[in-house]
Structure 1
């Protein structure tokens, strides 16, 4: 393969050599400690069926793979897991192994966001099929972790609301981020309270948005269409990539709950502010 790459004009540079291991290095003991760290529990006495059937295989893995190879300091544990996940995602029928290595990846410090970014990189740089396989496995692993935690209640008032940025809002709007994403769910939401006359800038949402009006009277408008009045109890569905704004009417404050799907942290694309002329026309 290296010769083929070289013939194609690709120059592969060689990495640094690993630091030599000490003479008294015990690969079996070191490997046992590394494996326990990776899986997050003590499996010195490995209960796996293969280890019971052929203990020599388990000894070899501990001493050579987790001992000798993992002791080489040219790659971090995180780097090794990303490389392993990449190889597993490219092959079929290895979902159990993928889930196992996603668990290890979380144990060694890779975040859920980094692993979701990894799945997205597979989609854009490898194939949709490999990304779907990896994404399904990751979703199951994350769901396991959150299910183990049980039901969580987030109390109102713990986090103070923030003021909407003047880059994205005209007038005074307060944003209370009521809930973030709880993987495998990619849904997050906030309560937004607008003073009379306040509104968002024009914007779009990658996966759409749901608004539920809770107080006051407001407006929502799609680009090129007439504004619509919204009142408490109304729900508004805004399809993906529809340019729009929403906010309070000129003579009344308004509050709504806003819910979006945000798998990659880029659910909203902000655009220009709504002009006073556009807003006045919407209030007629």
Structure 2
């Protein structure tokens, strides 16, 4: 067992860039341990991830604000404060804030994340199904 007490003083928030569109900040909850990565991720309005998959899946717990989650080939779905999302292993998806709200979620990523291409403005603007 390992216990990670709150936010460690020596750990810094990171502004994400290479695989995100818009301004996105991540705050590690715990260091990557046995293939599990946990981050609090803050998206400014309109910010989002690029398309990606997770080797063993991902859990998102929406803490505040509202955003979109989208699986390849489907329209984006709204996510709001209090929602939990399970993304199965190797399911191609993206997630991020709406244009009207920020989004803060805790992302629990299982195994390696495989980053792909940027989400197009057209894909981001699709109406929810």
TM-score where L is the length of structure 1: 0.43
User: Does 1:178 pair with 2:34?
Assistant: no
Q: For the residues of structure 2 that align with 1:278 and 1:252, how far apart are their CA atoms? A: 18
Pairing 1:243-262 to 2, within 5 Å after superposition: 243-262=92-111
SS at match of 1:188: strand
Give the alignment's Cα RMSD to 1 decimal. 1.8
1:85: which partner in 2? none
3-state SS of paired residue (1:213): strand
1:189-228 Cα distance to aligned partner (Å, 9 max, x none):
0000000000000001110000000010000000001111
Q: Quote the Cα distance in structure 2 between the aligned partners of 1:234 and 1:253.
A: 15
Q: Distance in 2 between matches of 1:197 and 1:276?
A: 10
Greater helix content: 1
The count of corresponding residues between Structure 1 and Structure 2 is 128
2-structure distance, mates of 1:177, 1:281: 31
Moved over 3 A (4+): none
Where does structure 2 lack aligned partners over 5 or more consecutive residues?
none
Q: How far did residue 245 of structure 1 move? A: 0.2
1:25-65 CA-to-partner distances (Å, cap 9, x unmatched) read xxxxxxxxxxxxxxxxxxxxxxxxxxxxxxxxxxxxxxxxx
Taking the aligned partners of 2:127 and 2:118, their CA distance within structure 1 comes to: 14
Corresponding residue number in structure 2 for 1:273: 118
Q: Could you state the TM-score of these two structures normalised by the residue count of structure 2?
A: 0.90
> Which residue of 2 is the match for residue 160 of structure 1?
12
More strand by share: 2
